[in-house]
Each structure stands twice: as C-alpha cells, then as structure tokens.
Structure 1
Amino acid sequence: MSIAVQQLHKRFGNFTALDNVSLEFPNGELTALLGPSGCGKTTLLRIIAGLEYADSGQVLLDGEDASNRHVRERQVGFVFQHYALFKHMTIFENIAFGLRVKPRHLRPSEAEIKDKVHKLLELVQLDWLADRYPPQLSGGQRQRIALARALAVEPRVLLLDEPFGALDAKVRKELRRWLRRLHDELHVTSIFVTHDQEEALEVADQIVVMNHGKVEQVGAPNEVYQHPATPFVYGFLGNVNLIHGRVHEGILDADGVPFDAPGHAETRDAQGTAYVRPHELEIERFQHGVSGLVVRLRRLHGIGPLAQLELVREDNGQLVEAMISSERVQHLNLQVGDVLVVKPRRLHVFVDSTASAVS
C-alpha cells in the first residue's frame, strides 16, 4: 500500500504538533520518522493509523482519502513501545486475538487461526514459546510477539512507535537487525518512529527528519547523513564540530584561519558556520607555518581501533572532538597537554542568510 499525507496540521491547545506536513511513503519500503521528543513524529504516526485526527489535511491510502476512516477500516498494524500484550493470555492467544475478534463473516476457522499463529511464531523465531505468558518472556521476546500479533491480521501498513525504546542497547541492536531482515522478507509498507539516529540509519530505506512539527529533510540514509539539507539535520545526525566565521568569496575565515567554502564563491562578507564530524578531522603536531586550528589535547580515550580526542582551541577555548585511528595516536606519540593542529578533510558550510548547505 502506498501512503501519502498532504498539508497535515494538528494543534494541541497552543502547541503546534504538525505544521502543514506533506510526505509520501513508498510502497513496500521501511521509512523512519526521526527527530527529538516533541517534534511531531508520533502524532503523524497516530494520524496515519486513525488513532488521532488532523485539524486539516489529508491521509491518502493507495491514492484514496482515508482521513475520516475509522482505525479498523485502515488495515493498519500498530506496535507500541511498551508491547501492550495481554498479560493474562498465553503468547498463542495474544497473537490469535486480532483474528478472533474479526466480524463473524471475516473470521477464520479455529484450524486456520492455529495454523496462522504457528507460522507467525516461526517467522519471529519464537515458536517454542506459544504456551508461555508475557511476564515469562524477556523484553526483546515480548516485542517480537507484539510484532507477530500486529502481523496476524495481515495489515497493509505496519506502524511502529519507538518499538525498541524500552530495551537495553544490546537487545536493541539485535532486534533492529532482525526487523530489517523480517521486512526484507515481507515487504509490508512500514513506518517507524525513533529518536535514535543510529537505529534509523541502520534500518530504514527512507528517513524523514522532523523538527518542531516540520519536515527538515527526506532521503535515503546515506543521502541524509552525507548531504544534510539544514544545520539541524547535520547536528542531529551524530556528533559534530562547529567552526564559526565570516564567508567571503568562497572562503570561511575562522578568526584568521581560512577554510575553503565551495559553493559560496558569490557570497560577500556573511556570517557562516562550518560543520565537521569528528572522524573528518586530520591531526598533526603543531609547527609554525602549518595551516589549521591550533588546539591543545585535553583528553585521550582509546576504544579499540579508534581513539577519541578532546581538544581545546588555543584562540577561543572552544571544545573540538576528533576521532582518529589508534595507529595514528601511536605514530604521533600523543600525550595530554600536547599542542596540535587540526584540519578538516571535508566540511559543510551553512551561510546564515541563506541557510543553504554545500559539501
């Protein structure tokens, strides 16, 4: 099923949750709604599901306006963060529940229900837990059962609201890989809400980055990460260093240190900011005549093949984070207190007056 929303607007009192949002969700793909708490992503998901109604705008399912359809008529499967399993029912009964409450003329026979439930349990790799109760399962197992229950009614759309938010980091990582494999097998049009950047980048076919009820950027994970459209997207998707300065005819002057600002050759004397990720910085020992930001090493933390460096600019005291290989640390024989020079291999420059990005 293809899903689209057009000019959705939703307010709660004086708070604008969605500000004229228009989006398309490709048929058979997994889309992540990504953004900070309060950005509108869960409200958007609930409006698509029919659990909330927009003040204005449309929800289109396969091109037809479904804005006023009841949730039962939308053929949507919904998975919440906190499982919402019935504790007094066995796992088998939880999954069968949606099938057993269908109208009589649509309800499968008991034999068909039994067969379907066991197939779903095999699909989520938990067929040996059919007779257990939810409190007897781990958090990761309960979430997989919640997903099986959502799939039991053969939804045309699968909606997941922070599906792994209540789980620890190791289980989250295992489950998101599992969800990606499951989606590749089923190809159900799916939308999931998350505030976890790594989760969205690893699992989704398409990412929608939201902020204050608006869409900041839509694109494939690599496109959104490598070519952020706005300063917000750049800052939200991973750690980033900011270098402030004046942009003039293709050059960003950061307190006397020049950096190329390609794409801004026509810019004249404008305030700008360069965004540089920690792994995009080169580190050298300080020597007179070497171009770059002069910094002092405040902290060095090795993590396997990589090392994180906390650096402080000598000119203004600003913190700079860098990530380099452990071999490079050894080659430079770095010690806390060393004076170094950092140079970006790549940076994005946003000019304040235009808020446009270049790489």
Structure 2
Amino acid sequence: MSILVQQVSKRFGDFAALDDVSLEFPTGELVALLGPSGCGKTTLLRIVAGLEFADAGRIVLGGEDVASIGTRERQVGFVFQHYALFRHMTVFENVAFGLRVKARRERISEPQIRAKVHELLGLVQLDWLADHYPAELSGGQRQRIALARALAVEPKVLLLDEPFGALDAKVRKELRSWLRRLHDELHITTIFVTHDQEEALEVADRIVLMNRGQVAQIGAPQDVYDAPESAFVYEFLGAANRLAGRLETRDFVADAGGYRVSVPDGDLPARPQDGRAVAYVRPHDLALQPASSGEHGINVSVRRAIPLGGTVRVELAAPDASVWEVELDRAGWRALNASPGQALRAVPRSLRVFPLQDR
C-alpha cells in the first residue's frame, strides 16, 4: 500500500512539530524517518497511524483519504520502542490477540488462528518460546514478538517507532539485519523512525531526514551521505570536522592557520558566492603527515589516540581550538610514531563547503 502525506502540519501549543510536510512512500518500500529529537518524525508516524490528527493537510493510504478512518480500519501495524506486550499473556497469546479481537464477521476460526500464530513465530524464529511470558524473554526477543503481533493482522503498512532504541548495541545490529531480511521477504510498505544514522544507512531503501518539523533531504542512503544539500545534513550523517572561513572565487580560505585550497565544483554550494563559509571533512577523508613534511594542510597537534580494534581514532587540537577526529588503520598510526602534544599536518583528501548561514 502506498502512503501519501500532503501538506501536513501539527502544532502542540506554540511548538510546530510539523510544518507543511509532503512526502510519498511507494508500495513495498522501507523508509527511515531520521532526525534529532523533536524534529517531528514520531509525530508524523503517529499521524499516519491515526494515533494523532493533523491540524492541516491529509494522509492518503492506498489512494484513500483516511481523515475519517480510525486506526483499526487503516490496516496499519504499529511497533513501539518498548514492545507494549501484555505481561500476563504468553508469547502465543500476545501474537494471537489482534486476531481474536477482530469483529466476528472478520475473525478466522481458532484452528486457523493457532496455525497463523505458529507460522508468524516461525517467521521471527521464536516458535520455541510460544508458552513463555514476556518477562522470560530478552529485549531482542520481546521486540521480535512485538513485530510478529503487528504482522498477525496482515497490515498493509508497518510503522516502527524507534524499534531498537532500548536494546544494546550488539542486539540492535543483529535486529537491523534481521528486519532488512524480513522486509525483503514480505515487501510490506514500512516506515521506521530512528535517530541512529548508522541504522538508517544500513537498513533503509530511502532516508527522509527531518529537522525542526520540515524535510531537510530525501534520497537513497548513500546518495544523501555522499551529496548532502546542507550543513545540517552533513553534520547529522556521521562524524564531521568543521573549519570556519570564507569562499573566495571557489577557493576556501580558513580563518585560522592560513589554509587555502581550491574546491571542486561538486563540493561547493549549488550557487557558490564569495562570503562567509564553513568547510567539513570526514575523519576518514583526513590524512596526517609529519609537521616537517611540507604538505599543504592544516596545523594540528595530537590530543590522544584511541585504539578501536583494527583502527585508531586520533583526537586532534585544531587551529580554532576545536577538537577534530581522524580515522587511521593501526599500521598508519604506528608509521607516524606520534605522541600526545606532537605537532602534525592534517591534509584533507576532500572537503565540503557550505555558506555559513546554511545550518
């Protein structure tokens, strides 16, 4: 089922949670609503589900305006961050609940319910826990049961609100991969809310990045990461080292250290104009050289090095007193033979420039 969001606005008192948002979600797509806390992503999800109502605009599901249609009739499955399982019911009873409370004319027989519940528990690989209670399950298992319960009523749309936010990092990663595989098997139109950039980049077909109640950028995960349209998007999607300066005839000139570099067209604003600007460089796009190397770069000094398995994250004191990060493999860090306080030269392999007010 396709989802169309047309000019939706929602206020809570003086706070504009959504400001004239229009989006389209094609049938069978898995889309991440990504953004900082308070950007409006959960409010939008709840409006699609019918748990909140917009002040203006409309929601169209499968070609039908659902303004006057209740949550149950929208054929939407909703999974919350904290599972919302019934603690007094077994796993089997939790999954069966939505089937048993349907109107009599829509309800399938008890043998059919039992068969369907076991099929769903098999789908989420937890059939062996059918007789257990939620308190006996791990967080990851409870979240998979919550998803099975949402799927039991055969929703045309699946909505997930921070589905893995309460889980530890290892379980989150496992469930992300599992959700992607499950979606590829079922092809249900799915929207999930997250503030985790890595989660969105790994799982989604498309990302909708939101900020202050509006859409900041839409696109395939790699496209948005590689071609951010604003400084906000660049900073939000991963670590970023920031350097203030100015743009002079397509050259970026840093305020501190006298660093000047010609910027390729693809890394400039759409309509570059001379004036105040900010340059960004990713930690993996920053090379480190000895201060005596003669490389044209930015003077920095080592604050500390943090081993992270096969890589080393190095914190640097930048000329403007900010802290930069660079990612190196262990061999590259050993070759530098640097220690805290030592002066080095940071050489950007690429950097992205935005007007200073574009944040």
TM-score w.r.t. structure 2 length?
Answer: 0.95
Amino acid in the other structure paired with 1:64: E
1:341 aligns with 2:345: yes
Kindly report structure 1 stretches of 4+ aligned residues shifted beyond 6 Å.
Answer: none
What is aligned with 1:240? 240
Counting only pairs closer than 5 Å after superposition, residues 193-232 of structure 1 correspond to structure 2 as 193-232=193-232
Deviations 1:9-56 (A, max 9, x none): 000111110000000112101101011111100000000001111000
Deviations 1:133-160 (A, max 9, x none): 1111111111100000000000000000
1:270 aligns with 2:275: yes
1:187 aligns with 2:192: no
Q: Is the 8 A contact 2:17 2:39 kept in 1?
A: yes
Distance 1:3 1:176 in 2: 23
SS of residue matched to 2:132: coil
What is aligned with 2:263? 261
SS of residue matched to 1:287: helix
Q: Is the 8 A contact 2:295 2:347 kept in 1?
A: no
What is aligned with 1:308? 313
Distance 2:38 2:65 in 1: 27
Deviates more, 1:336-345 or 1:211-220: 336-345
Q: Give 1:90 shift.
A: 1.1
Distance 1:64 1:94 in 2: 30
Distance 2:208 2:340 in 1: 41
Residues 20, 98 of structure 1: alpha-carbon distance in 2 compared, 3 angstrom cutoff = same
Distance 2:262 2:326 in 1: 20
SS of residue matched to 1:86: coil
What is aligned with 1:280? 285
Deviations 1:299-350 (A, max 9, x none): 111222211111113x433322111111111112122222110111111110
Deviations 1:41-92 (A, max 9, x none): 0000000001111000010112221122111111000001111111111111
Distance 2:274 2:127 in 1: 66
Identity of aligned residues (%): 61
Gapped runs of 5+ residues in structure 2?
Answer: none
Residues 55, 337 of structure 1: alpha-carbon distance in 2 compared, 3 angstrom cutoff = same
Distance 2:81 2:22 in 1: 25
Residues 61, 324 of structure 1: alpha-carbon distance in 2 compared, 3 angstrom cutoff = same
Distance 2:84 2:157 in 1: 19
Distance 1:235 1:218 in 2: 16
| Count of matched residue pairs | 354
Gapped runs of 5+ residues in structure 1?
Answer: none
What is aligned with 1:327? 331
1:9 aligns with 2:14: no
Distance 1:268 1:150 in 2: 51
Q: Is the 8 A contact 2:246 2:275 kept in 1?
A: yes
Residues 243, 84 of structure 1: alpha-carbon distance in 2 compared, 3 angstrom cutoff = same
SS of residue matched to 2:171: helix
What is aligned with 1:111? 111
What is aligned with 1:90? 90
What is aligned with 2:102? 102
Distance 2:275 2:264 in 1: 14
Residues 268, 221 of structure 1: alpha-carbon distance in 2 compared, 3 angstrom cutoff = closer
Q: Give 1:113 shift.
A: 0.4
Distance 1:48 1:233 in 2: 25
Deviates more, 1:188-197 or 1:257-266: 257-266
Distance 2:281 2:182 in 1: 35
SS of residue matched to 1:198: helix
Distance 1:328 1:103 in 2: 66
SS of residue matched to 2:224: helix
Residues 183, 334 of structure 1: alpha-carbon distance in 2 compared, 3 angstrom cutoff = same
Distance 1:111 1:316 in 2: 70
Distance 1:302 1:151 in 2: 43
Residues 337, 90 of structure 1: alpha-carbon distance in 2 compared, 3 angstrom cutoff = same
Q: Is the 8 A contact 1:248 1:267 kept in 2?
A: no
Deviations 1:171-192 (A, max 9, x none): 1111111111111110100000
SS of residue matched to 1:52: coil
